[in-house]
Copies of this chain bind each other. A is one copy, B any other.
Amino acid sequence: MPKPTFFNLSEEKKANLLKAIKKEFSRAPYNEALISNIVKSASIARGSFYQYFEDKEDAFLFLLDEHIENNKAYFIHSLQKFNGDLFLTYIEMFHYMIMKFENQEDRAFFKNAFLNMNHKVESRFTRKFNDKDIKHFLEIKDMVRKDNLTITDEQELFHVMRILTAVTIHNLVETCAKELTIEESLKIYTKEIHLLKKGLVQEEVISSNDTNIHIN
């Protein structure tokens, strides 16, 4: 988290600084981004940067969180719009995200962010399904339409969302890495969501550790 000093800044100064930070994280991947460039670009003293942020990571994650908050709101909005249909919601979210890549100003930043998608970054994106921040899951779980899902309890819904999230992020990262067009990217993603819905095996005894289900 940025230090209190940062939040005390005038809106103008804050905006100026954030602009410089975004510029630097757009210029180079996280590992190569430099605080030196940020302070140069924002025309502030080096020491000032450290009055506002702990370090490079602090600044990067703050910027990221701003976008993520926006996503979370959009997720809930979509879930309502689609009457709790999880799959339509995920596809809508996916679409929403890749549309952001079209914005020239955001493109480089997102590319650097997604190609640097490690556990720390990913867990920011998926906080809502993390048990550390379980309240986000609680917020969402009742909005999901469950009557058409195969889940037998709430815990399974949790896993369903984890799976959807894993596949979604994987596709988002790939879209960046391979610079896929919206069409290519959406086609692959919807195909995979479709496979997830119908299941990977058919008409057979499926057995797991603790359950035996016979579909027919």
Chain A: residues with CB nearer than 8 A to chain B?
31, 87, 114-120, 122-123, 148-151, 156, 159-160, 162-164, 166-167, 169-170, 173-174, 176-177, 187-188, 190-202, 204, 206, 208-209, 211, 213, 215
Contact = CB atoms under 8 A, between A and B. Distances in A.
Contact of A150 (B119, B198, B208): B198
B192 A163 contact: yes
Number of copies: 2
Contacts of A213: 198
Contacts of A151: 200
B116 A118 contact: yes
B209 A150 contact: no
Residue of A176, A190, A192 with most chain B CB atoms under a 10 A cut-off: A192
A201 B115 contact: no
A38 to B, nearest CB: 17
Contact of A198 (B163, B173, B215): B215
